Each structure stands twice: as C-alpha cells, then as structure tokens.
C-alpha cells in the first residue's frame, strides 16, 4: 500500500496524468491492489485535498493509565531518591492507594511493566540491555528466619572520617539487617562483635555464611590447625560456620548486594560523618529505616514485616528445613566417605571422624568441613550408590 499512497501523494500535488499515465484503474489492476481499498484511499485524498498519514493509535483507550497516576509515577521517580525503581514506585503507590481510597475513585495501582513503560515514555528510564534478565537466575533462599545469617564487610572511602569498614549481618530468608557495625577495618574482633550483636538482638541462627576473608577464616595460631576465633565464638552459641567457595561472591550474594543499597542510601543522605561514633549512629539509623520502612522487591514487603509474619524461626537446635535444597551433617567414616540416605560421597581418609556439612541442591552437592571451608563439589548420579571423589 505504500506504493499507492506515494502515487496518490503525487496526484494530489501534480495531477492525475503525472501519477497515473495509464489511468487509475489500470494502475490498480497492474499492481494487484484491492479495488475497494484503492478507491477509498483516493477518495480520502480528494476530500482532504492532500495526502496525510493518519495516526494508527486507537481513538479511545479505556484501559489507559489515568493522567493522575502517570503524574505520580513520574513524581515518585524524583521523590524516592536512590530507591526509585519500578518496584519501589509501585510499593509507594500501594500505600497511597490505601490511604486515599483509590478503589472508590476507579483507580488502580499499575503493574511493574506499566510503570517502566511510563518512565520510558517520559525519558526517565535507564536501560541496561546487557543486564541478565531476572528469569535467568535461580534464587536460593532459606525457608525460615534464623536458618542462616550472611556476614560481610564493605569498605567506604571519601568521607571526612576517613576510610572505614561497615560489617553487615543479613538474615538470608527475610533480608532483615540483624546487625551493622562501623569499624576501621574488617578484623576478627569486629566480626565477632557484629555477629554477637545480631545474636543478642535476633537470636542465634543455625548457620553463619561468610567469605574466606581473614576476619572469618584465619586460624587462631599461625600455621596451626586450631579453629579461628570467629569460628570458636560461633561454637559457643551452637552455630555452624560455612565459608563460600573461593572467588565466588555469588554465594554470599544477598549481603554483597546489600552493600550497594547501603552505599546509595549514605550518598543520598548527604551525611558527612566526622567520627567513627557518628558513622555507627548513621548505620543504626539506616538499619531501622531499611528493616521497617524500605519495601524489598524480593520478598514483596519490608524485612521487619516478613520476619514478624514468619510461621516459625530457625536456630542451632535444628538444621534449616529446605524444599529446594537439603542440608546434611554427616560424619566421615573409616573409609573416608559420608552417607546420606544410602548415597555416599568420598571425602578422603584424612577427614575420618570429622563432621561435614553437605548441601545438595538438585543434582549438585557441595561439601564444607567443620571450619566451614569449602572442600569441593560434584554432580550426583542418582543411579549410583557411591558418587565418587569430590572435585576440589
């Protein structure tokens, strides 16, 4: 039809002979155009006096987002500061809708995709095409609060106080920030203080997950085999320590990602701490805001509400109960193997008598020793009784 429209445009500007030397009917037949459509297009040009493309947009949009809602979406993009993504905007709109009774006014809170479309049309959407889509991730979450705490430190520079470290302890299930501690460096002493503060405020977890930093994994005696002071402290609370795989920060991904949220909040707040005491006060202020006010997109609520509504809490007296993964505490027998429900994994005779933590996620198994160090992994073959040697 583009050819016909171009020819009609020439006819409107230069006459019929210039556009259709053999006549309009012959032009339609030679190009195999629908006769009714061709004459309808020509009649429109005669009535309007010129060719003008018409909008293909529908004349009315009964399901279009009202202007009032669109305006609030754009306004919240600015008002929410660093947390101004579609999920956070929708959470704020849900609160406003309840307070202002949008339902009685025929207004509804738009979906996340609609909010992104509104921001895109307004030129406010930052596109990241290289970012992996959410559907490509496999999320691992412990089933109950206190099943697992993740601990890690982040270094912050550029403040009047100088270079500081903030050690954060995060509950894996509810994303509750159970402790935050400002210190000069990520030391064992401060790591112990942070995890003890979490235990005092929220209770002891079944597992503490950390990376292989010196604050968490250094042995008590250089070159010796004695457990680290951090691990010994957890032993007194009956808590098992697990370290993530070396050079694999995704294992502690929740607390690693949380550092970014804290850094954004600190930058947007405009606070310039002059002392470590002031920095700790800001950490305490952030912890309260994050737990009780900030809506978390992964859990669709605030961390405090998720914790309060949990039907049960975990702890040292029972290993985490998982539906998507299984965790076993198994002792290495004299043949160097551990057994789980008739299936064995070869660890090595050097570990005979030691208790291992085995995490089985689908067909994949990871084994950690009593100190929490990752010993290796393997892919399970359900048709075999003995799964063979671990892959370091």
Of 24-38, 159-173, 197-211, 216-230, which gets the smallest average pLDDT? 216-230
Q: What pLDDT is recorded for position 251? A: 59
Report the pLDDT value the prediction gives residue 138, as an integer from 0 to 100: 53
Closest Cα to residue 367, out of 339, 342, 341? 339
- Mean pLDDT score across all residues of the chain: 85
Domains for the chain: give ranges and CATH numbers.
Answer: 2-48 (no CATH), 67-130 (no CATH), 148-308 (3.30.420.10), 326-389 (no CATH)
Q: What is the pLDDT of residues 174-215, one digit of tens each?
A: 999 999 999 999 999 999 999 999 999 999 999 999 988 888
Share of the chain above pLDDT 70, in %: 91
Amino acid 204: pLDDT = 96
Q: What average pLDDT does this structure show over 345-353?
A: 91
Residue 289 has pLDDT above 50, yes or no: yes
3-state secondary structure string, the chain?
Answer: CHHHHHHHHHHHHHCHHHHCCCCHHHHHHHCCCCHHHHHHHHHHHHHHCCCCCCCCCCCCCCCCCCHHHHHHHHHHHHHCCCCCCHHHHHHHHHHHHHHHCHHHHCCCCCCHHHHHHHHHHCCCCCCCCCCCCHHHCCCCCCCCCCCEEEEEEEEECCCCCCCEEEEEEEECCCCCEEEEEEECCCCHHHHHHHHHHHHHHHCCCCEEEECCCHHHHCCCCCCCCCCCHHHHHHHHCCCEEEECCCCCHHHHHHHHHHHHHHHHHHHHHCCCCCCHHHHHHHHHHHHHHHHHCCCECCCCECHHHHHHCCCCCCECCECCCCCCCEEEEEECCCCCEEEECCEEEECCHHHCCCEEEEEEECCEEEEECCCCCEEEEEECCCCCCEEEECEC
Asked if residue 226 has pLDDT above 70, the reply is no
Q: Given this model, what pLDDT does residue 136 score?
A: 45
246, pLDDT greater than 90: no
Asked whether residue 48 carries a pLDDT value surpassing 60, the answer given is: yes
Measuring CA to CA, how many Å separate 367 from each of 31, 43, 154? 73, 78, 27
Across residues 223-251, what is the average pLDDT? 76
pLDDT digits (tens, 9 = 90+) for 157-176: 999 999 999 999 999 999 99
* Residue pLDDT, tens place only, 86-145: 888 998 999 899 999 999 999 999 998 899 999 999 988 877 766 555 544 556 788 899
Least confident stretch, 177-181, 226-230, 235-239: 226-230
CB-based contact 150:210 (threshold 8 Å): yes
Say whether pLDDT at 321 is over 90: no
Average pLDDT score over residue span 258-262: 90
Phi-psi region of 315 (alpha: psi -120 to 50; beta: other; left: phi over 0): left
Dig out the tokens for 191 from the structure: 């790591």
């Amino acid at each position: 039809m583009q050819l016909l429209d171009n020819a009609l445009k020439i006819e409107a500007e230069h006459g019929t002979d210039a556009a259709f030397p053999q006549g309009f009917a012959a032009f339609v037949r030679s190009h195999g155009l629908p006769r009714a459509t061709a004459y309808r297009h020509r009649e429109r040009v005669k009535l309007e006096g010129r060719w003008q493309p018409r909008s293909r947009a529908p004349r009315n949009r009964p399901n279009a987002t009202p202007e009032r809602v669109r305006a609030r979406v754009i306004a919240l993009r600015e008002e929410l500061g660093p947390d101004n993504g579609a999920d956070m905007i929708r959470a704020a709109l849900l609160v406003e809708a309840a307070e202002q009774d949008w339902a009685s006014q025929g207004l509804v809170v738009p979906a996340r995709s609609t909010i992104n479309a509104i921001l895109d049309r307004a030129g406010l959407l930052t596109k990241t095409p290289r970012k992996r889509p959410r559907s490509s991730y496999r999320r691992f979450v412990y089933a109950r609060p206190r099943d697992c705490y993740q601990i890690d430190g982040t270094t912050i520079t550029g403040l009047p106080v100088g270079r500081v470290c903030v050690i954060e302890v995060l509950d894996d299930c509810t994303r509750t920030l159970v402790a935050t501690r400002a210190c000069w460096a990520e030391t064992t002493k401060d790591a112990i203080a942070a995890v003890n503060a979490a235990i005092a405020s929220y209770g002891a977890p079944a597992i503490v997950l950390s990376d292989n930093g010196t604050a968490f994994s250094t042995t008590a005696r250089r070159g010796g085999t004695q457990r680290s002071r951090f691990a010994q402290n957890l032993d007194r609370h009956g808590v098992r320590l697990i370290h993530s795989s070396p050079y694999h920060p995704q294992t502690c991904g929740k607390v690693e990602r949380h550092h970014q949220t804290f850094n954004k909040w600190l930058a947007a707040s405009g606070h310039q701490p002059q002392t470590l005491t002031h920095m700790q006060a800001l950490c305490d202020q952030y912890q309260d805001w994050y737990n009780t006010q900030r809506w978390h997109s992964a859990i669709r609520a605030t961390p405090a509400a998720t914790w309060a509504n949990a039907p049960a809490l975990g702890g040292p007296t029972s290993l985490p109960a998982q539906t998507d993964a299984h965790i076993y505490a198994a002792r290495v027998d004299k043949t160097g193997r551990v057994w789980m429900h008739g299936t064995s994994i070869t660890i090595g005779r050097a570990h005979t008598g030691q208790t291992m933590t085995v995490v089985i996620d689908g067909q994949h198994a990871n084994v950690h020793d009593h100190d929490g160090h990752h010993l290796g992994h393997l892919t399970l073959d359900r048709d075999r009784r003995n799964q063979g040697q671990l892959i370091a």
